[in-house]
Chains A and B, each alone.
Chain A
Amino acid sequence: MTFFLKVIIRPTGIVALRALPQSKMRTALRYIPPTTLIGAIAYPLLHLKGSRTETFYNKRNFRSAAENVLRLFNWVTVKIEGKPRLYGSLLKINTIYRGKAQSAVTSFPFAVMYGEADYSITAIYLINEEELSKGPYTLRDIERAAWGMVRIGSRESVISVESVKKGKTEIEEMQETRTAYAFQFKDVEVEGKGTLQSVVDWRSGIGDYSKAKHIIMFYPEGIVTVRGNLKVAKCGEEVIILAS
């Protein structure tokens, strides 16, 4: 048995996910990668224990504090209702610096989740109980942390968590299933619509992405049918596919 948390998130309209961390320009992700989901829950989780640490330095190498809670999760995935639009207007920036006027044109794209329909983002976190039992966190802490997620992506992307449900699931193997949640696109056959997106494999670490491993994720539009040697977990009424 594995515990899962199902977290329903409401965006404040804009989700700014930069494809290159620490870059403000040009590229944005349309869909939320797993690293962002881990980062989103790591911050309130660390907060609960009074930790303000964001970065660890090991001589000249540095890592994100989110790595400390990484192993608490077996898998994370997300379902997005409504198709976000990528948008970035051209900005002409004029600055006066040391008496000299400087001018540049740039753009700052982001995913817009705004319109008549209420966009809803649902994240599922599968919890690794063995790691959890080693402390210092309890399942209750992770649940409270889920209620305390404040943003998805960079700082304009403020969110509110509208519901947190917990449950138990068993991981099963099967040849075919239907899902609305993102999954790793590897050795599978998909029937239905969706978007492929290359994302950082969060299991290889969070923080320094310059040498990070990437995986291809499939973000379904609605529900799709997936075939292959699948590892599947039922979370309430819904199904998620774990990476092999």
Chain B
Amino acid sequence: MFLSVGVRFEANVEALNMVETAGNYTKHRRVPYLVEEDGKLKTVYVPALSGESLAHAYQEHLAREALSIGLPVCDDCRRNEFFKSMNKAHLKKKIDPIPEDPKKIEEAIVKACVIEDVGGFLYAEKPPVRRTSAFQVSYALPVKSAALFATSEPQLHARHAQINASSKKGNVSEQMIYYVETGTALYGFTFNLDLDAIGVSAITSGPILEEDEIKARREVALKALFRMLSSSQFGAKLSRFFPVGGITELVITVTEHPFVVTSPIYNNYIDRTQKRLAVLKEFGEEYFFTVADENKVPEEALKEAIDYLREKGAF
């Protein structure tokens, strides 16, 4: 089974994905947006969140959900340091001595850690062993039609230090001024999850785990996504720049084989997705489709998807 989710969310005054710090100025991630003006193309930079940033947040939720029902998560991933058994030093913590056979290496990693099972890994030694992530996430970009209204503006902040008169010397300042660039936009992103990849070897194609554990891992993989969306716990600087807004629209599809919803950065994405899904009927394939908009809250739509997957025996 394959799950694909398109999410639109409004975020006002957010600092979810910062890059480059120049002195006391922290910049928001931005991407070029090409617009035509008087027959000439020009570039406007709009705020964006990287797929890597969203993927990191998802894996943090996954670690927490997995641990809460006693599924294994390795020490590195538990600390949200997703090194993913990248070399001998990290792999040794899971299996020592390290086997020669790539199949045994994969098996040891998958058994030891739900994050690396679902999120993939690359053991970059000889022989290299790789496992592609079972989930994919796009960049979150401003919805195209409203992208020109998206802003990234520096906000002035001051940090104070207490300095008594006797210790005050030279140019020590009582105030440190800094700027944080905050973004405001209606964003859209796509998240896919290939449930059939969980607990299954990317080398032999056979199951590595017992069926019960595979089902349990599929369920936490889904719950982690739903937790991330309904709690809006993704991106950085949430403690002081928690964005004002929330999910405005959400589309979910579940298909037997891979299928991706049309990106929510396009205005007609709900209709497009539904029309494209109808084609799958011609292939004799069943599917699930739901939309959360003004009539349905995201949590209801997410619950429907869980119920459908349970009914289909995914977990």
User: Which residues does A use to contact B, with CB under 8 Å?
Assistant: 10-14, 22, 43-44, 47-48, 50-57, 60, 62, 82, 85, 87, 89-92, 95, 97, 112, 114-118, 140, 143-145, 147-151, 155-162, 164
Contacts and interface: CB of A to CB of B under 8 A. Distances in A.
A117 B192 contact: no
Nearest to A105: B20
A164 B129 CA distance: 34
Interface residues of B, number: 66
15 contacts: A14-B51, A22-B128, A55-B129, A55-B130, A57-B203, A62-B127, A89-B20, A115-B32, A117-B34, A144-B283, A147-B276, A158-B137, A158-B190, A159-B260, A160-B261
A13 B263 contact: yes
A230 B126 CA distance: 43
Given A52-B196, A148-B257, A12 B31 contact: no
Interface string B251-287: 0000101111111011000001100100110010100
Main secondary structure on B side of the interface with A: mixed
Given A13-B265, A87-B31, A115-B35, A140 B283 contact: yes
A137 to B, nearest CB: 13
A156 B260 contact: no
Contact of B139 (A13, A148, A161): A13
A12 B127 contact: no
Contact of A158 (B126, B192, B279): B192
Contacts of A115: 32-35
Contacts of A145: 257
Contacts of A48: 257
Interface of B: 2, 19-21, 27, 29-36, 43, 50-52, 55, 81, 102-103, 122, 124, 126-133, 136-139, 141, 144, 189-190, 192, 194, 196-197, 200-205, 255, 257-263, 265-266, 272-273, 276, 279-280, 283, 285
Contact of B203 (A47, A53, A82, A95): A53
Contacts of B29: 89
A151 B138 CA distance: 9
A148 B122 CA distance: 25
Nearest to A55: B203
B57 to A, nearest CB: 14
A160 B262 contact: yes
Contacts of B21: 92
Contact of B36 (A57, A116, A150): A116
